[in-house]
Amino acid sequence: MSKLDTLIQDLVIANRILAKEDVVDAYGHISVRHPDNPNHFFISRSLAPELIEKGDIVELDLDGHPIGDEKRSLYLERFIHAGIYQLRPDVNSVVHAHAEDTLPFGIAKATKLKPVIHSGSFIGNEVPVWDIAKKFGDTNVLVTNMAQALDLAKTLGKNNIALMRGHGFASAARSLIEVVRMSVYLPRNARALMRAKQLGGPIKYLSQGEIDARNSGYSPYSPETWRAWEYWANKAACGHLLTRPDGGHVHGQKT
Amino acid sequence: MSKLDTLIQDLVIANRILAKEDVVDAYGHISVRHPDNPNHFFISRSLAPELIEKGDIVELDLDGHPIGDEKRSLYLERFIHAGIYQLRPDVNSVVHAHAEDTLPFGIAKATKLKPVIHSGSFIGNEVPVWDIAKKFGDTNVLVTNMAQALDLAKTLGKNNIALMRGHGFASAARSLIEVVRMSVYLPRNARALMRAKQLGGPIKYLSQGEIDARNSGYSPYSPETWRAWEYWANKAACGHLLTRPDGGHVHGQKT
Amino acid sequence: MSKLDTLIQDLVIANRILAKEDVVDAYGHISVRHPDNPNHFFISRSLAPELIEKGDIVELDLDGHPIGDEKRSLYLERFIHAGIYQLRPDVNSVVHAHAEDTLPFGIAKATKLKPVIHSGSFIGNEVPVWDIAKKFGDTNVLVTNMAQALDLAKTLGKNNIALMRGHGFASAARSLIEVVRMSVYLPRNARALMRAKQLGGPIKYLSQGEIDARNSGYSPYSPETWRAWEYWANKAACGHLLTRPDGGHVHGQKT
Amino acid sequence: MSKLDTLIQDLVIANRILAKEDVVDAYGHISVRHPDNPNHFFISRSLAPELIEKGDIVELDLDGHPIGDEKRSLYLERFIHAGIYQLRPDVNSVVHAHAEDTLPFGIAKATKLKPVIHSGSFIGNEVPVWDIAKKFGDTNVLVTNMAQALDLAKTLGKNNIALMRGHGFASAARSLIEVVRMSVYLPRNARALMRAKQLGGPIKYLSQGEIDARNSGYSPYSPETWRAWEYWANKAACGHLLTRPDGGHVHGQKT
């Protein structure tokens, strides 16, 4: 399998993982930048992530237009991905989703979402909240054009995650595995913080130094990162689709 | 398959989806108005929604009486559907259910259930709470005759959803797909609002303009609406029963 | 199958339902009084409810002693059942379990568990809390002899459910189906009340008149009661074991 | 099968149980001390607990070094186990995990985690909270060397469980079955306490006498303990791997 074929297959796996882990349902999507052409990215046609196969992946440019002749319906909110890839050359993978336990933090203004657990460190110390109404007034709350997408990407800034008021979140990372990991642990961090608040008293957040120490030690194919990817893929019944980029052996597959 | 056969099959799918998505358990039901005779509607005989097949669907009139000779037991609360169809000619599908996370809003008077997330917009800005005791005193809390049903329908008014105190909710929409979607996202909106309240501070609800913008853009067979219907049906192991009203291809089925 | 064989099989089904509905885990048990000998009752030997088959059911007397030569281990807390059957001749079936969402009401003294939803009406207006320490001081918190069991049964009194502080609950009803139904909806009523409390403001409980109206209309083999039993049994993969006491047809079985 | 083979197989079962019961996900691990050499212990190579088989188990010494020539990646945090085995000769099995509902008690300082339910008694009356930052400043929050592990073990002291701030917990017990049981019921006790706090009013904890009474009556192969182990193993699809140390019959297996 070519490197590009492997990446597309990993994108299929990532879709199924996000569905299995309740990050997406019928809605929400994940994309990956074209490794050889930074002005293109891959994402599914309009289809629920759990049902996606290789043939459903389409190639779009950084304005959200399909490359070549594409007759199938596309995600209305594909612009979110295009906008973030435009403003953030360091980003290679983007998730937009509505994971339930992230929603309260975009609705209630009193509590900021910040890392309180080690697996939540990758969301970063600052999680801005973008409100589409601030600049665009009364809309259907969806990001359906590049102007809205670029405004969201500007609010995201250098951060890894932006909450979207009354809607969900966008997360951005250097690799597919990293953005999946961040998107799976984001709701867990949100729950830990909500419940800690209910217990009362002061909250102990991760320090900036702890967040930095974790980030600097991160590598997308370390045994620790691979362990989670392999686990999630097996839970989502995609173990047989796994490929190690280093050609190493994969659990449950014949050598 | 005739248009009517397809509708009945969609009603079977809708029952199984509501069961899989925890909107109904042994109790709760969904109906659809007869497309050629607005004075009749279809609903299952008395059976748990997860177990329903085509042969279980019966045809009732707008007083809740079965058409023809029907010996099987019927839902005690079929009158809810009859009452809403009587007073609301624009409504073609009704759900009555006890989805757990809607219940607190019918019990506690301090917090009104209103849309806080985009997928909850379809519940509308006003969700009235109907208390059967107000007019009918001490009952078994069930809606078991037309007088009670019409009183509930009057409280529902022009809205899409009425909460029923200590019991559940009734939702009404233009189509089967729309009422399923509303009934699935209603508890999610309820949870988002409950948790936002716990975080403290002011709550940012959807504005009336946002609700209107979403409603005006809604179409029951848009790619976005179909995407959810197709996803939920596959999750409920009904993917093979799907039919597109426009004759289009369905995911996972041979052409 | 004889009437007694059917009852034993229903007891097996009830065990599996309580496991599937998260009322019991490895611990917790359900019993039924011998229909022809009110001084005996049936219960499983010491085994997790999900794993129970017909051969695991044993017959005990109202002191918790096995009838005949029984070498297998018995539940340490079988006395709970014996004690309630001794003091309550109207009771034919008993559940003891630790369903998680009932626990807070035995630990926190500020909020009484009372019916707030129609499916919770059968728990009755008064749910006493029994604290083993009050009379027996520091124990292992288990009910391991008749003196403790009779004290619990005395606290239960004429009610349907007693909470056991730091431990769980005991429920008692006229029939197997009724006690299962009560035990499944008890935690749901507890959750609805907990969440309503969090929303704030006054709580609207079911009135005594509503509770009475529901009780007086209850019949263990009405279509509504059967609907739930049939549904739960199918969910617990026991649909093929169902028998209607009136010889009627059962969903999913050949006639 | 030799006694050692049986222990290794039990360790595999324990891994799968902890995964099924949501105590671990891709991360978290369980170990058991070598029964014939107290200076060695067994633990999996770096792999998600749900996927572990016999061949994945490795033998380490009490500094966390592998015995013999081991090329596969090891858990970064294996030192937690080594440190506890060093300081606690009475301990034969250790779990480290991030079970979600234990996390708030390590983050919020206002509420101490203590036993409120009988199945939580084994966590003991004192659950210290260890904060890695106190001695080691800004780290990646993981326990990656013996100095950190020994500091954690010192905080654990004579107790059964130590919470780890912003990270998870470590639990220590006399046997594999005991540490699994404690780790499964720890989050349940945490939830019961959190919800009781939300109900308001004073909380009734287990008394020291009750905790002592339960501990003194505990035996790892009593029918009650075996019942849970057998149930969890079957739920985790490991029923066929069970062995009774006394050679007794196992549910669902041929004699």
Sort out which chain C residues have CB atoms less than 8 A from B76's CB and list them: 224
Sort out which chain B residues have CB atoms less than 8 A from A109's CB and list them: 201-202, 204
Cβ pair C194:D197 closer than 8 A: no
Q: φ and ψ at B130, to 5 degrees? A: -100, 130
Cβ pair C252:B133 closer than 8 A: no
Sort out which chain A residues have CB atoms less than 8 A from D109's CB and list them: 201-202, 204
Q: φ and ψ at D111, to 5 degrees? A: -120, 125
Contact (Cβ atoms closer than 8 angstroms) between residue D128 and residue D155: yes
Whether the per-residue pLDDT at D149 is higher than 80: the answer is yes
Cβ pair A98:B116 closer than 8 A: no
Cβ pair D100:A191 closer than 8 A: yes
Q: How confident is the model at residue A255 (pLDDT cuts 50, 70, 90)?
A: very low
Average pLDDT over residues C92-99: 98
* Closest residue by Cα to residue B206 from B128, B125, B93: B125
A196/chain D closest Cα distance in angstroms: 4
**Tell me: the pLDDT tens digits for A39-77?**
999 999 999 999 999 999 999 999 999 998 999 999 999
Reduced to 3 states, what is the DSSP secondary structure of residue B30? strand
C165/chain B closest Cα distance in angstroms: 25
D84/chain C closest Cα distance in angstroms: 28
**Tell me: the pLDDT tens digits for C111-168?**
899 999 999 999 999 999 999 999 999 999 999 999 999 999 999 999 999 999 999 9
Q: What percent of chain D has pLDDT over 70?
A: 96
> In degrees to the nearest 10, what's the CA dihedral of C23, C28, C32, C34?
170
Predicted pLDDT at B246: 67
Whether the per-residue pLDDT at A254 is higher than 60: the answer is no
Catalytic residue among B77, B126, B178, B224: B77
Query: Which run of H or E residues covers position C226?
Result: helix C223-235
Residue of D nearest to C55 (CA): D251
A218/chain B closest Cα distance in angstroms: 31
Mean of the per-residue pLDDT values of chain C: 95
Whether the per-residue pLDDT at D246 is higher than 70: the answer is no
Which parts of chain B register pLDDT below 70?
245-255
Lowest mean pLDDT segment, chosen from A4-18, C215-229, D89-103, D185-199: C215-229
Query: Which run of H or E residues covers position D41?
Result: strand D40-44
Known catalytic residues of D are: 77
Known catalytic residues of C are: 77
Predicted pLDDT at A165: 98
Average pLDDT over residues D182-195: 98
Question: Chains near C, with 3+ CB pairs < 8 A?
Answer: B, D
Cβ pair D227:C48 closer than 8 A: yes
Sort out which chain C residues have CB atoms less than 8 A from D213's CB and list them: 138-141
**Tell me: the pLDDT tens digits for A80-118?**
999 999 999 999 999 999 999 999 999 998 899 999 999
- Cα separation of A21 and D100, whole Å? 15
Average pLDDT over residues D210-224: 89
Query: At CA A212, angle to CA A207 and CA A215, rounded to 5?
Result: 130
Reduced to 3 states, what is the DSSP secondary structure of residue A132? helix
Instruction: Label the pairing between strands C161-164 and C129-130.
Output: parallel
Q: What percent of chain C has pLDDT over 90?
A: 89
Q: Residue D44: which residues within 8 A CB-CB, separation 6 or more?
A: D11, D15, D29, D52, D56, D57, D58, D75
**Tell me: the pLDDT tens digits for C19-70?**
999 999 999 999 999 999 999 999 999 999 999 999 999 999 999 999 989 9
- Cα separation of D78 and D35, whole Å? 19
Mutation pick from B16, B24, B105, B107 vs chain C, by most beta carbons of C within 10 Å, is: B107
* Closest residue by Cα to residue B46 from B36, B56, B33: B56
> Residues in chain C whose beta carbon is closer than 8 A to a beta carbon of chain D?
25-27, 46-48, 50-51, 73, 76, 98, 100-101, 103-111, 131, 133, 137-142, 165-167, 194, 197-198
Mutation pick from B121, B199, B249, B250 vs chain A, by most beta carbons of A within 10 Å, is: B199
Residue of B nearest to C239 (CA): B51
- Cα separation of C84 and C118, whole Å? 26
Cβ pair C196:B103 closer than 8 A: yes
DSSP conformation letters of A19-87: HHTTS-SSS-EEEEE-SS-TTEEEEE-SS-GGG--GGGEEEEETTSPBSS---S---TTTHHHHHHHHH
* Closest residue by Cα to residue B106 from C188, C203, D199: C203
- Cα separation of B19 and C229, whole Å? 15
Reduced to 3 states, what is the DSSP secondary structure of residue D54? helix
E strands along C35-132, which residues?
40-44, 57-61, 93-97, 129-130
Sort out which chain B residues have CB atoms less than 8 A from A141's CB and list them: 118, 121, 206, 210, 213-214
Contact (Cβ atoms closer than 8 angstroms) between residue A18 and residue A183: yes
E strands along chain A, which residues?
29-33, 40-44, 57-61, 93-97, 129-130, 161-164, 168-173
Cβ pair B111:C224 closer than 8 A: no
Cβ pair A138:B210 closer than 8 A: yes
Across C170-189, b (16+ Cβ under 10 Å) vs e yields bbbbebbbbbbbbbbbbbbb
Predicted pLDDT at D255: 43
Cβ pair C231:B50 closer than 8 A: yes
Query: Which run of H or E residues covers position B208?
Result: helix B208-216
D213/chain C closest Cα distance in angstroms: 5
Question: Chains near D, with 3+ CB pairs < 8 A?
Answer: A, C
Predicted pLDDT at C142: 97
Residue of A nearest to D72 (CA): A223
> Residues in chain D whose beta carbon is closer than 8 A to a beta carbon of chain A?
25-27, 46-48, 50-51, 73, 76, 98, 100-101, 103-111, 131, 133, 137-142, 165-167, 194, 197-198
Cβ pair D26:A201 closer than 8 A: no
pTM: 0.96
**Tell me: the pLDDT tens digits for A168-183?**
999 999 999 999 999 9
